[in-house]
Amino acid sequence: MSSTTTTPSTHAPPPPPPPLHPQTSLVNVKSSDLKTVSTNNVFVHFNSCQWAAHYPELREACTKNNLFLEKEPFKYKYKYIESVLQVGPTCGLVALSMLVDRKVTANEMLNIAKLSGYTGNGEMCSCKNMVKLVKEVFNLAGINNVTFELKIGNLFSSETIELLTDGAIILVPYDADCNHSPCLRNGHTAHWALICGILIDNPTESFELDANNIYVLCKHGKSKYLAIWKLADLDSSNKNLKEFSPKKGTDGSTYVLPDGGIGGEDGLCNQYLVFKGLNPN
C-alpha cells in the first residue's frame, strides 16, 4: 500500500497599494466632508466653491488658492480663455494669440512682428509696438467689433475694477517670479499675461481701494492653469519694469528694445492694453 504526501500550497501575500502620486494634494474645506473628486491632480471637495460649479477651471483655481471656498465673491466676472504654452521668449505673442482665440497663431504673429521690426526673437518690449501688432492681428483675423486702447498708470484703480467687472480683458506686462506670480525684479524677468476676470471680496465703503479685496484671474504662456493674483501686486510689478534683463542682454541673441529701454515712455513700465467688446462665454 503506497502513501502520498500532499505539500500545502502557498500563496504570495498581496502587493502593497501603490503610493500616492507625489503631486497629489488635498485641499480641506470641512473636516467632516470626505467626498472628493480628483481633477488635474488636485482633490476638489464637492462642497467647495459651489458658486463656480459651472466653471471648472475657475473652481479649481479658487480651491488651490483657498479663496471663496464656502461663499460666493461679492462680485466677480470671468471669461474662459483656452491656454497656449509659449516656445521661446514669445509670451506677449502667445497671450495675444489666446486673446484672439488662436485665429492667428503665435508663430504667425512672430513673422509679422519680425518683419515690422517689433521683435528679434519673439520678445515684445514696447506696449506701443504691441498696439501696432494688435491692429495687424485683428485685421488678419477679421476682428472688427472689439475696441482697445493703451493705458498708462492706474492699473489698481476703481476705473480698472469697473472695466473688468464689465467684461474687459487686459494685456499687461509684469515681472514674473519663479512660480510666474508678480514680483519686483526691476524688469529682469519681464513677462506678459492676460487678465480675463476679477474676484471682489469683503464689500466695504471703499472696497475698491483695499488691496486685499481685489483678485484678478490671469492666463499666460508658461502655464496651462488659471492663475489668481492680487491686482495691487500686479500693478506694483507692472510699475517696476525699469530695465531689460542683463542676462538676456549678453546671451548672444538679438533683441529689439525701444528708445529709452523698457522703462521709458515707449517701453513697458506702467503701461498695459485694455480690450472691450470680446464675446462673453
Residues carrying an active site annotation: 91
d(CA 166, CA 231): 16
Q: Grid coordinates standing for 235? A: 500693478
Angle between the 127-141 and 91-99 helix axes, to the nearest 10 degrees? 40
Neighbours of 3 (CB within 10 A): 4
d(CA 239, CA 175): 9
Widest pairwise Cα distance in the chain = 109
Closest CA to 242 of 178, 193, 174, 166: 174
